[in-house]
A and B are shown apart, each in its own frame.
Chain A
Amino acid sequence: AQKVTQAQTEISVVEKEDVTLDCVYETRDTTYYLFWYKQPPSGELVFLIRRNSFDEQNEISGRYSWNFQKSTSSFNFTITASQVVDSAVYFCAEGDRGSTLGRLYFGRGTQLTVWP
């Protein structure tokens, strides 16, 4: 069973639009972590955020914000006033203690294209 679902395969927006990337996760563990990574064309994963299961506070970092809802097992990511440099593949991931400690389960990724 897929542990992390990113239903949006590709999203295209025009610069300055807001965009939300969806992430739904599945776990039986009560202690888990959720992550978002950005992967530009160079391929290197850029860490964006880590959230633990006990902290449901939403977080904002500049133009980025994250909405964690345990009730719906979702951890959505919003980019406000998108820019061309935001174009990349974004991965949501989940890690728990259920199997190999520390391994991450990645979603399929969402390709975001921001047009000028």
Chain B
Amino acid sequence: GAVVSQHPSRVICKSGTSVKIECRSLDFQATTMFWYRQFPKQSLMLMATSNEGSKATYEQGVEKDKFLINHASLTLSTLTVTSAHPEDSSFYICSARDRDGGWETQYFGPGTRLLVL
């Protein structure tokens, strides 16, 4: 089956630093990737939609200058949390839509736990 990886799986950083999270589709090409954020005991909330070769589309309330998304290839999207603060601590999950599948076909990565001290 299709596999999506995320790196790192967990990261601890100091307040004010930037953290980059990678999302890769390992055996398929993804024209679209989605970034979700999940706070403890809460649901997954879509942050942004990342399309290969174009600017990401952010959901209302998500700061595009703080959460930089780059989708430079059909297999890689990155989310950079700039100047991270403790309130950015969360579980970040990406999903990738298979270019050769229907629009409903998408696969989730294992997630990245971010802890900002």
A97 and B43 contact, CB distance less than 8 A:
no
A69 to B10, CA, bound (A): 40
B34 and A102 contact, CB distance less than 8 A:
yes
Q: Which residues from chain B sit less than 8 Å from chain A, CB to CB?
A: 32, 34, 41-46, 49, 57, 91, 93, 95, 97, 103-104, 106-108, 110-111, 113
How many pairs of residues, A versus B, come closer than 8 Å at their CB atoms?
50
Which chain A residues in 78-102 approach chain B with CB under 8 Å? 91, 95, 97, 100-102
Binary per-residue interface labels of chain A (29-42) against chain B in the complex, 1 for a CB within 8 Å, 0 otherwise: 00001000100001
Which chain A residues in 60-116 approach chain B with CB under 8 Å? 91, 95, 97, 100-104, 106-109, 111
B108 and A95 contact, CB distance less than 8 A:
no
Chain A residues, Cβ within 8 Å of B108: 37, 44-45, 47
- SS of B interface (majority): strand
**Nearest chain B residue, comparing its CB with the CB of A105:** B46
B113 and A107 contact, CB distance less than 8 A:
no
Also in contact, A50 and B104, with CB within 8 A (given A43-B110, A102-B97): yes
> Is A52's beta carbon under 8 Å from chain B?
yes
